[in-house]
Structure formats: structure tokens, C-alpha cells
């Protein structure tokens, strides 16, 4: 057995699978082999604003279908993740955000230009994000960043971004959790792509109420003055905002509006799931 420092760290703090939390073998960087065979990326055309599949949702009015979609368990989709648990992330499964906008997003007049999200917020991904946010699993950020790049590297390259901006959390929440989950993902993305990380462009000046029960309009009111671009800051031309979950788009839309008022021409979003 080879006791290099990283090997010793593994023994003291064993790395865990980001999807099932089992202790990983040394040749499994982010998720275990079993989970690698189970989890699926999105495939097919997605809404340009929310990254959700468009199939059957473009001309569909009303909330019912959307609700059903949200509660649907993991859909069997093409694009296996198995490569993502091994070394060398190769291949690109996504056909990328299309030109079309789904009904829900069309009604909301969201200010960001596009958003990609490799997963739906359901099943093992939802459980993983809950542990990541609330049960001290900051190391999962490596998996989320790898998955985002595996799914969307080519799209991100086409966006030609100047900066990655993590959605900030309020300092009281930061004190409780110990880390900002969006910042951890943004840091990993920055390290892997070379896109500069800009934490200074958006700050949070208000702790918002829990948003879970709020409608889109309620959320938008709730966060309309929660973020700001500090005085004297100028946003570069093309910015990607990084968050963990896209729900209604109120956070991303609001931040995009602020960044555009401070000089950004294009604002895109990257979320783990939507
Ligand atoms: Zn696993
Ligand atoms: Zn949409």
C-alpha cells in the first residue's frame, strides 16, 4: 500500500459517492460504478431558458402538466454517465439548448439568455443535492462540475464566457452551512475550464424567506432586492451565473438583469438541475 499524502487523507476522510454516499474505491473519482450505470443525462432539445426537455411542453398551457413533470421520477434518458465515474471525461451527449422557450419560461420574461442543466431535480440527483447543501458534503462539487462539463462543455465554449459568477448565499446561511454550494461548483468549473471566477460582481444584501412554497411572482418579489452589483463594479461582456438548482428562474433572471444593467451583454446560467 502506498501512503502518499492523498492516500492518507482518503483513509482519514474517505471520499464518498456523490449519488449514494457509499465510500469510493481508489479508481472511482466522483461516483461509484453502480451509480454510474444508473444516472442519466438529459437528452434531446431543451428549453433555452430553463434547460428542461421541450418535448410535449411547448404548446401546453396550464400548470398541471408542469407539476406532473416536476414530480416525475428519473426518466430513462440516453447518454450514460458511466464515463463520468471513470477517468477522462470524453464524449458529449447533449444536443444543447435549442432556440425554443417552454410555456412557463415564455410567460416569465426572464432576462438571462440561456441556461443549461444536465439533470432533472428528482430521484438520486435531488437526494445528492440535499446532502450537498444540508449535510456537509462539500466534496460533491467535483462531481457536479464534472457532470456539467460532460454534458455541456461544447455549449459553454460556444458562449465564450468572460467570467463565472456564483449565486451568493446570505452570510447567516453561510455561517450555518460553512460553505456556499454554488461557489464550490463555480470554483471547480473555473479550475477545469480556465474561465475566471468573479465572486465580487454579485453580493447578497438580504436574507430571503424560504422560497419553496412561493409562486414565481412571489419569488420574484422576494428576491428583487436581495442581490446587488457593488458600486463601481463593471460586469464583463459575457457572464455565466452558476447555481445548484433552477426552479422558476427568478434568481437567475434577477441576477441577469442586474449584470446587464452593469455592462454585461450576455448572461447565461449553469445549474446542476432544473
Ligand atoms: Zn454510488
Ligand atoms: Zn423553460
**pLDDT tens-place string over residues 224-265:** 789 999 999 999 999 999 999 999 999 999 999 999 999 999
Question: How many Cβ atoms sit within 10 Å of the Cβ of residue 95?
Answer: 13
Is 5 within the bounds of a domain? Answer: no
Q: What is the mean pLDDT of residues 122-144?
A: 94
Instruction: Name residues whose C-beta falls within 8 Å of residue 68's C-beta, 6 or more positions apart in sequence.
Output: none
- The ligand that comes nearest to the alpha carbon of residue 57 is 2
Q: With respect to residue 143, please indicate whether it lies within any of the assigned structural domains.
A: yes
**How do residues 29-57 score in pLDDT, each as one tens digit?**
899 999 999 988 998 889 999 999 987 55
Separation of CA 134 and ligand 2 centre (Å):
27
In whole angstroms, how far apart are CA 45 and each of 49, 98, 118, 161, 259?
12, 6, 12, 22, 27
The answer on pLDDT for 73 being more than 80 is: no
Distance 70 CA to ligand 2 centre (A): 12
Question: Does 258 reside within a domain?
Answer: yes
Please check whether residue 203 lies inside any domain of the structure. yes
**Total Cβ atoms within 10 A of residue 142:** 19
What is the distance between the alpha carbons of residues 65 and 63, in angstroms, rounded to a whole number? 6
DSSP strands (E only) in the chain: 114-116, 163-166, 203-204, 227-228, 238-245, 266-273
Tell me the CB-side half-sphere exposure of residue 194, using CA atoms within 13 A. 2
Cell 434547460 sits at which residue? 51
Residue 198 domain-assigned (yes or no):
yes
Specify if 1 maps to a domain: no
Give a yes or no: residue 11 inside a domain. Answer: no
| Beta bridge mates, 46 | 53, 97
CB 125 within 8 A of CB 39: yes
Query: 122 C-alpha to center of ligand 1: Å?
Result: 16
Assign 208 a pLDDT band (cuts: 50, 70, 90). confident
The model's pTM: 0.81
| Per-residue model confidence (pLDDT) at position 124 | 94
Residue 4, domain member (yes or no): no
* 63, pLDDT greater than 60: no
Distance 105 CA to ligand 2 centre (A): 4
Query: Which domain, by its residues, includes 45?
Result: 16-273
pLDDT (average), residues 169-181? 90
The pLDDT of residue 83 is 36
105 alpha carbon, closest ligand: 2
pLDDT of residue 215: 81
SS3 87: coil
Note the pLDDT of residue 86: 30
The rounded percent of the chain whose pLDDT value lies above 70 is 78
- A 10 A CB-CB count for 216 gives 17
Question: Stretch 68-74: mean pLDDT, rounded?
Answer: 34
What is the distance in A from the centroid of ligand 2 to the CA of 247? 10
pLDDT at 270 exceeding the cut of 90: yes
77-114 pLDDT, tens digit each? 334 443 333 322 222 233 444 578 998 999 998 999 99
- How far apart CA 263 and CA 233 sit, in angstroms, is 9
Count of domains forming the chain: 1
Amino acid at each position: 500500500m502506498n501512503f502518499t499524502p492523498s492516500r492518507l487523507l482518503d483513509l482519514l476522510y474517505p471520499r464518498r459517492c456523490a449519488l449514494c454516499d457509499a465510500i469510493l474505491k481508489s479508481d472511482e473519482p466522483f461516483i461509484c460504478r453502480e451509480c454510474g450505470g444508473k444516472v442519466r443525462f438529459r437528452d434531446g432539445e431543451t428549453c433555452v431558458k430553463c434547460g428542461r426537455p421541450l418535448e410535449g411542453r411547448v404548446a401546453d398551457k396550464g400548470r398541471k402538466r408542469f407539476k406532473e413533470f416536476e414530480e416525475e421520477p428519473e426518466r430513462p434518458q440516453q447518454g450514460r454517465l458511466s464515463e463520468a465515474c471513470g477517468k477522462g471525461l470524453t464524449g458529449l451527449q447533449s444536443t444543447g439548448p435549442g432556440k425554443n422557450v417552454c410555456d412557463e419560461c415564455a410567460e416569465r420574461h426572464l432576462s438571462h439568455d440561456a441556461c443549461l442543466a444536465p439533470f432533472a431535480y428528482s430521484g438520486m440527483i435531488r437526494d445528492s443535492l440535499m446532502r450537498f447543501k444540508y449535510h456537509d458534503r462539500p466534496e460533491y462539487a467535483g462531481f457536479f462540475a464534472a457532470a456539467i462539463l460532460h454534458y455541456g462543455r461544447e455549449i459553454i465554449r460556444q458562449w465564450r464566457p468572460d467570467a463565472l459568477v456564483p449565486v451568493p448565499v446570505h452570510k447567516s446561511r453561510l455561517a450555518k452551512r460553512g460553505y456556499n454550494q454554488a461557489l464550490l461548483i463555480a470554483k471547480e468549473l473555473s479550475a477545469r475550464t480556465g474561465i475566471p471566477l468573479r465572486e465580487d460582481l454579485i453580493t447578497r444584501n438580504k436574507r430571503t424567506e424560504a422560497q419553496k412554497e412561493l409562486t414565481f411572482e412571489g419569488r420574484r418579489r422576494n428576491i428583487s432586492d436581495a442581490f446587488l452589483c457593488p458600486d463601481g463594479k463593471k460586469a464583463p461582456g459575457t457572464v455565466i451565473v452558476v447555481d445548484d438548482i433552477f426552479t422558476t428562474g427568478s434568481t437567475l433572471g434577477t441576477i441577469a438583469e442586474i449584470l446587464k444593467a452593469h455592462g454585461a451583454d450576455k448572461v447565461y446560467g449553469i445549474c446542476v438541475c432544473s
